[in-house]
Amino acid sequence: MDISTQYLGLDLKNPLVPSASPMMKSLDSVRKLEDAGAAAIIMHSLFEEEISHEHEEVMLLMEQQELSHGEGSHFIPTYEDFANGLDAYLEQIQRLKSTLEIPVIASLNGISLDGWIDNGRKLEEAGADALELNVYFITTDSNQSGAEVEDRYTSLLRELRENVSIPICMKLSSHFSSIPHLVKQLEINGAAGVSLFNCFYQPDISTDTLQVIPTPPSSSETDMLLRMRWIAILYSQVGLSLGVTGGVKNGNDALKFLLAGADVVQLCTILFEKGPEYLAQILTELKVKMAQLGFDSISELKGSISHNAVKDRQAFERAQYFRYLTVQGR
């Protein structure tokens, strides 16, 4: 059985890829993931905002030291003497590349164009095999159109594409009026792939403190079905790689995404719940199910139940909603 696949131009031994999470900060955990069969790993995100905050804190500390010590200021450490999040991230890339035999995909979140470009270059120089852009713009201005929001994504991609040579994947949210149009524009502007969909922090309101509080992102079965629908719709319309993340708990879930057209299935929450070794169980379940259905390879099954492949295309469209209500007797 051939379970190999391609993603972002990288040859992978199978379609299971642990997605960006704090687990990637631990070399021991990443080794366990590789031993369990991970085909590649996507590192935790590097946040420009965090780097900028660290820089401001260090500069403030140095300024205070100079004011306090006067004549002894030449003994005060320079900015380069302070380790920061960027240095640690670059060092982690290098450690992973020297330790693992599987591809290492870096993840980047920026707040300024210069930050995206500068940090993207550094991640490439450190040895990352590909770059995932963890992009999220919250549009709160009623005067900004959906087309303008899309243009922010494509403009950012074009700038980065001119400055880094490794493959770029755009990790998207589901909050677009026309996902196929956006993904097609990203392909035209040089994206090697897209990952559907990002899970974000959502604000909540505490009725005890009357404060806005963060809630951790999580995925559910409904989230998985949303992703499956859009992978199936996109499969025949674009030529770039399709990654999916969110809600996968077993080999059967992974198989569904592959049948819809995904090139890779990314895993996160289930690995936190069960441990990195659980990836081996998911991989075994996937192979057993493929054998039961008579599939000899990933390439044979991929996209076989996509939007374009099924007789009733409305099964992936809103018209099915009425049919569901009819069946349920509502």
Tell me the CA distances in angstroms from 200 to 38, 71, 173, 272, 318, one per residue in order: 24, 49, 8, 17, 25
- Over the chain, what is the mean pLDDT? 86
pLDDT tops 90 at residue 98:
yes
Say which DSSP state 70 is in.
G
| pTM metric for this prediction | 0.85
Q: What is residue 330's predicted lDDT score, i.e. its pLDDT?
A: 56
Q: Is 309 exposed, middle or buried (0-12, 13-18, 19+ CB in 10 A)?
A: middle
CATH code where residue 107 lies? 3.20.20.70
User: What is the tally of structural domains in the chain?
Assistant: 1
The Cα–Cα gap between 65 and 134 comes to 37
Q: What's residue 54's pLDDT?
A: 40
Q: Which domain does 220 fall in, by range?
A: 5-327
Q: What pLDDT score was predicted for residue 60? A: 36
